[in-house]
Structure 1
Amino acid sequence: DKHEAILTDTVGFIQRLPHQLVAAFRSTLEEVAEADLLLHVIDVSHELYQEQSDAVYKVLEQIGAQNKTILTVYNKIDKLPSKNALAQRLAQQENSVCISAKSGIGIEELLALISENLKLKSIEVTLLIPYTESEKAAKLHTIGTVLEQEYKENGTFMKVRLASEQLEDFEKFII
């Protein structure tokens, strides 16, 4: 829906990550603190997956990113026994999804969850842009999602969803 996202992969977290190693990777890990959304991917087939998950949260706390929106992605769900209740229990957790990156199971659900959470960072506004500022209306088609557009006597009427930080350029047109 025309939202732009930058995806980065940070250094893999390991259980009991030494403080010196956190310091060495600080610049890489700072990207995490700046992110709008974190995907915490967990190998659910690993016997120590819970301990590894806990280690990630401890490192997030060390770098000041513990309050970020985090989507928990339980990967390798296809490696669990088919009658395993764990997958059903994990899928019930808020902001989590069970997937298999290898087979594609759950990928659509993951993309929908990402999109849903990124929309929380956007805002819907109604604008009336004078024809003398038509470049602004054109820009909205590039940077946002135009939900409605109508040509009126005094300008272009638009309902648009865009990132809140982009709103400043259009504040004088809000109706």
Structure 2
Amino acid sequence: MSKGKIIVHILQGACYCKGYDPGGFTGLFDEDLKNAVIRLQTDAGLTVRNGKVYDYVFKAFLTMDAYVLTFGSDPRIREMQQDLNNKYYTTSGVQPCDGHYQRGTNTALIYGIQTEEGIAPNLQTGSVEPTTRDRLPTLRLGSVGNFVKLLQYALYVNRFDPGAFDG
């Protein structure tokens, strides 16, 4: 069996484990498998929803992370998770979108802050360090933009509902 078919079999198995029907274990990258990939790309909130398996998409299939709401989840947290993936996956990686605030969500939030602060991707850590703290802007009544939206996310997960996540 060729290396390509083996990789497609692995992807098809991962689709089943994630709850996406790839249409069988054929070893062929067909329309069913492409549609399963598009569903994960959509559920994860990614901007690219073309059914192509980029490295970050393949990794998302191979983790234990969920990209759909699970028991006891919060749809607003999932909305936040999808938006963080949409804007910051290139630095934070694809994080879960299951509606539960967790380590990956927190890390993506910090990567978002570091990206908005203009910290170079290779210097971003996903942790709040002195550079991250020093570059935090002062937000005032009437401020708008991505920093405001990230603050709204942080407030919400700390049980202070800011209303809409509108930045």
TM range (shorter): under 0.3
Larger helix proportion, structure 1 or 2? Answer: 2
Greater length-normalized contact order (CA 8 Å, ≥ 6 residues apart): 1
TM-score (normalised: structure 1) = 0.25
TM-score (normalised: structure 2) = 0.25
Higher alpha-carbon Rg:
1
Larger strand proportion, structure 1 or 2? Answer: 1
